[in-house]
Structure 1
Amino acid sequence: MLNYSSAALLATSTYLSSVVSMLLRNVIFARILSPDSFSVALTFGLVITLTEQFGVISHELYMQRAKDGDELSFQATLQTINLVRGLILSLTLLTFAPLLNDFFRIPSDLFDYRFLAVIPLINGLRHLDPQRLHRQNDFSKSARIGITADLSSILVALLCALIWQSHWAFFVSFLFRHTMSTTLSHWWATRPFQLGFDKPLAFRLLAYSLPLMIFAAMKYLGTELDKVLIARFSGLAAFTLYFMSLMITANAANIITLGLNKIFVRRISEAKQSELSYVAASNGVIILYLSLPLLLSIIFFGESIIHLVFGSQYTPIQRLIPVVVCLVAVRQLSLWLNQLVVGRFETKLVLYAEMARIALLLALLPWIVMQEHIILFVLGFVACEWSFVLFMSIKLAKHIKGIKHLTAKLSAIVFCYLASFWALYEFTTEMTLLSKALLYVPTVSISLLLFYLKSITCREQTHNFINWVTRKGQHINRKF
């Protein structure tokens, strides 16, 4: 099996840097700003995510997949398309900003969402050369860019919060992070930034990305609508509490799934047809091997973390943590199946599965909105995630032998772990933090050991990682 520990560590460290810096920035703002100002600031991320998802063209993923993705003309065309995309998204935000103010019930004199239109334009000017190097499993420059921008943005966030002490501090920090990332992408590029247009390539990219563009819009509805609905119907205060719970939980798991995403997509794209089942299985089991113990950590300490990190003015919602953990765990399976499609097959397969998710959501939505309870919002989205996993596995069965059986097996693992997670949550609710810590160590050890003993893939990759760390340690010792 391919030893991808080195590339995986760099890709994961980049995402980890982003997650940690975002968490630290939010901690700074949550503690220095008033709860009302912090709630307004959190909607900025919702709006930018909405804009980016509805305008996604998946150019970076296509660069990994295309045979001519290393050519200069290919890169120039993608950079032109990315710039045009940024301009269109900026104009869209300028046009619809008043509707956003009405939707979130935030007066324009408090904050005008038209100010956010500059963000997509900045992102459209990004140099794609660091992403091109991912074709060779070289994530070093992307890691340097991400980590440098993230570390500097933390300092800027602190300075802004101390100076303004309002949501404008968040906006300036937000703007700085995107500007720094784009600037560094040019600074550390190995090729000059060029624009160009290859018409056949543009049509190829369009054919590849159009289903994903529709899928991204539907995915936003499937995975982000919960935040939007809570912000609209339960108020910004409830939205803030939910955002904090999800931030802790989802980012912990996404460190694994999204950090390894480009590596796993590349493995799928390069695998022979006869190897697809094996590669799919190894990708899936590695994701669960690494993400489930992290979710177990959230079950033990999540509510205490929210209280300790964000402050006593933000009281956690009882039983919200285990429900959010359920949602995030099932999303790991959804992301795994999505990787298989993006790396190898027609992206319209994702669109079909997303339509199944949206259909169930539309059926559940009237009842969920009427109840106006955050727990029910999340449970509804858990059901939608299961429908996505089921439908996608059925569609992939025509292309990957045994995928339905593999999906059922991994789903059973997730279900059993979630049942034990919920039981542990109820059992440890009244425990002290010290008692939880003492129980946590053997519990997470058992979780890892079960995967290690039952999976050859987990054993091989654990040994590969240990050997890689050992070699790095020896190399450092020789230097000193």
Structure 2
Amino acid sequence: MLKKALMLVSGNAFGSALLLMRNLIVARLVSPEDYGIASTFAVAMSIVEMLSYFGLNQLIVVDKEGDDPKVQRALQGFQLLRGVMSGLILYAIARPYARFLGVEEVTWAYELMALLPVINGLQHYDIHRLKRHLVYRPWIVSQSVPPLIAVITLWPIALLYGDYRIMLVSLFIQNGSMVLLSHVTAERSYRIGLDLALMRRATVFGWPLLLNGMLLFGVFNGERLIVGNQLGMAQLAVFSMSITLTLTPTLVLAGACQSLFLPQLSAARDRPDAFRWLGVAATEAGLAIGLFLILGMVLFGGPLMHLLLGEKYSAILVLLVPMAVLQALRVSKTGASTVALARERSGNAAAANLFRVASLPLSWFAVRETGNVMTVVSIAMVAEMLGYLLSLRLAARRAGLDLQPLVLPSGLSALACAVALFEAQIAPPRTGFVENLDWTRWAVVLTCLAALASMTALRGYLIRRLWRRG
């Protein structure tokens, strides 16, 4: 089972790394303004997914009749219908969306993107159904190979286009490849059907996921829309790239932690002592991910970004560490949400995200008044810190998470975030590795190490796992 979990995580990490590489290559090939426009394509797709996500791919796995060919045909039919409806929505909002971002000249691109949900609607659901039988290879292939194809084809696309259209064509290649591979790796023939009763059942199953998807859209894309609307495409390019660079590793590692701890927490529900200990270890793991991200960005972020993106993205250097702190605060909620999920409290994660979503109007007002993107990051940090405290409180009350052992790790992690922000403010951006050995960076390193050393439950968990393997 552990081998399968590692295979899933590595496949997801590989696909995420390739998409990050694709974004870096496109950013290097085009101007910041064009990359800003290219980054709005992903936001547009997220809007459509947010409005139409019902978790059909999860339903075919958990539903007791999910293996029935009739159910699969009905879900594939519903998926295609959802894709057509999503395409119509995207086409309808294309002009207002372009006007909102001040790029009406690319309305045609958003209208063309309306075909993408329809293409995705043709996906074969065998890649999801086979998960019921612990067969993950088709799903992994469909998630990891298309990003590879998208990266490989960037060069010939760049020979034809030298602007944001590179990303537009790449999105069509990636999504088309994913759908094609879902059919190539399928065991059953592709059929579609319509079943009103199943559609109602799928809607009942999916509406909480739809609600959480709306909240996650606000978390991941709300500030991007604000920056694009108020500060323009060049600023959006820098802001989006700083998000991408810091968000991608936390998403991958947070998914790995949830895959690792959730089955063990679920199995330990009837053993209070084991559950409490694992719950503390899982929460500390979320904190540790954030600390490693901060360390990486403080020590190596500037030189790596200068190497990868060049001088035209030099403005990103002042955002890297604050954005890393923001993502560290966001990912810190992962552990408590996993503990609650093990007790079937799926609403805790959504509740913890409410602060971030509620802060968006304040961010809009602040950036309009100041014209400074750092105000958006600062407001989001406060919202995420409140979300972390709420996630702990809810997990303690609803799932029995023991908070006392988490006081010191949480406090030292907060101190590490504060020291990193102080270092970023007083120290000039650095683009060389030899500039890393000064007292401000040593202060960040020492506080992060102190916070990691205080995580006794996580350390004990890792030692036990290594001992068993040995």
TM-score by length of 2: 0.85
Shift of the alpha carbon at 1:405? Answer: 5.0
Identify the residue that residue 455 of structure 1 maps to in structure 2: 456
Partner of 2:89: 92
Q: 1:116 to 1:409 in 2, by over 3 A?
A: farther
CA offset digits 1:9-67 (Å, max 9, x no partner): 32232222222222222232222223332222121111112221232223344455555
AA matched with 1:184: L
Q: SS of the residue aligned with 1:298?
A: helix
Q: Deviations over 1:343-394 (max 9, x none)?
A: 6535455444444443344355423432221111011111222233333443
Provide the residue aligned with 1:477 in structure 2.
Answer: none
Shift of 1:262: 5.0
Query: Could you give the per-residue CA deviations for residues 229-285 of structure 1, whole angstroms, max 9, x where no partner exists?
Result: 111101111111111212111112222013454555555556535455444334333
1:176 and 1:272, CA in 2 relative to 1: closer, same or farther beyond 3 A? same
Match status 1:300 vs 2:302: no
* Equivalent residue letter for 2:382: A
Show the counterpart of 1:167: 164
- Whether the 8 Å CA contact 1:73–1:198 is kept in 2: the answer is no
Inter-CA distance 98–316: structure 2 relative to 1 (3 Å threshold): same
Q: Which amino acid aligns with 1:386?
A: M
Quote the Cα distance in structure 2 between the aligned partners of 1:106 and 1:461.
50
Partner of 1:104: 101
State the match for 1:402 in structure 2. Answer: 401
Instruction: Give the counterpart of 1:223 among 220, 233, 248.
Output: 220
Q: Structure 1 pair 192/273, CA: closer, same or farther in 2 (3 Å)?
A: farther
Greater mean deviation of Cα atoms: 285-294 or 406-415: 406-415
2:433 equivalent in structure 1: 433
Task: Report what 1:377 is aligned to.
Answer: 376
Alpha-carbon contact 1:222-1:361 (below 8 Å) kept: no
Q: Distance in 2 between matches of 1:335 and 1:52?
A: 22
Counterparts in 2 of 1:79 and 1:262: CA distance versus 1, 3 Å: farther
57-66 vs 47-56, greater mean Cα deviation: 57-66
Distance 1:9 1:85 in 2: 32
Return 99-108 or 35-44, whichever deviates more. 35-44
1:417 deviates by 3.1
TM-aligned CA deviation for residue 119 of structure 1: 1.3
Partner in structure 2 of residue 476 of structure 1: none
2:239 to 238, 242, 261: 242
- Post-superposition offset of 1:153: 1.2
* 1:302-340 superposed Cα distances (whole Å, 9 cap, x missing partner): 222222111212222453122101110111123444445
Q: SS in structure 2 opposite 1:127?
A: coil
Residue 323 of structure 1: aligned partner: 322
Q: 1:443 to 1:237 in 2, by over 3 A?
A: closer
Which residue in the other structure is 1:26 paired with? 23
- Return closer, same or farther for 1:280/1:74 CA change in 2, 3 Å cut-off: farther
Any conservation in 2 of the 1:123–1:178 contact (CA below 8 Å)? yes
1:327–1:381 CA contact under 8 A, matched in 2: yes
Give the match's secondary structure for 1:258: helix
CA contact (8 A) 1:123 1:182 kept: yes
Equivalent residues, number: 466
Contact 1:393 1:403 in 2 (8 A): no
Alignment partner of 1:79 out of 76, 80, 104? 76
Q: What one-letter code is carried by the residue in structure 2 that aligns with 1:210?
A: W
Could you tell me how far apart the structure 2 residues matched to 1:151 and 1:59 are? 26
Residues 306 and 9 of structure 1: CA distance in aligned 2, closer, same or farther (over 3 Å): same
**Bigger shift: 214-223 or 91-100?**
214-223
Match of 1:121 among 115, 118, 123: 118
Mapping of 1:412-427 within 5 angstroms?
A: 412-422=411-421, 425=424
1:131: which partner in 2?
128
Given the alignment, which residue of 210, 213, 218 partners 1:213? Answer: 210
Identity of aligned residues (%): 20
Q: Take 1:139 and 1:443, find their aligned partners in 2: how far apart are those partners?
A: 41
1:37 aligned partner: 34
Distance in 2 of aligned mates of 1:417 and 1:67 = 47
TM-score, normalised to structure 1's length?
Answer: 0.83
Please give the secondary structure, in 2, of the residue aligned with 1:178: helix
Per-residue CA deviations over 1:81-109 (Å, capped at 9, x if unaligned) read 32222121111001111101101111346
Query: Distance between the aligned counterparts of 1:358 and 1:370, measured in 2?
Result: 20
User: Which residues in structure 2 correspond to 1:277-316 (within 5 Å)?
Assistant: 277-316=276-315
Q: Write the deviation string for residues 123-152 of structure 1: whole angstroms up to 9, x where unpaired.
A: 222223333444566543333332221221
Counterpart code for 2:214: A
> Which amino acid is 1:281 matched to?
V
- Alpha-carbon separation, structure 1, partners of 2:259 and 2:192: 25
The 1:270/1:89 distance shift into structure 2, 3 A limit, reads farther
Map 1:42-61 → 2, pairs under 5 A: 42-61=39-58
Q: Structure 2: how far apart are the matches of 1:380 and 1:250?
A: 17
Unaligned runs of at least 5 residues, structure 1:
471-480
Q: Distance in 1 between matches of 2:33 and 2:276?
A: 50
Alignment of 1:190-201 (within 5 A): 190-196=187-193
Residue aligning to 1:473? none
Distance verdict in 2 for CA 1:430–1:331, change over 3 Å: closer
Deviation at 1:420, TM superposition (A): 4.2
**CA RMSD in angstroms, aligned pairs only:** 3.6
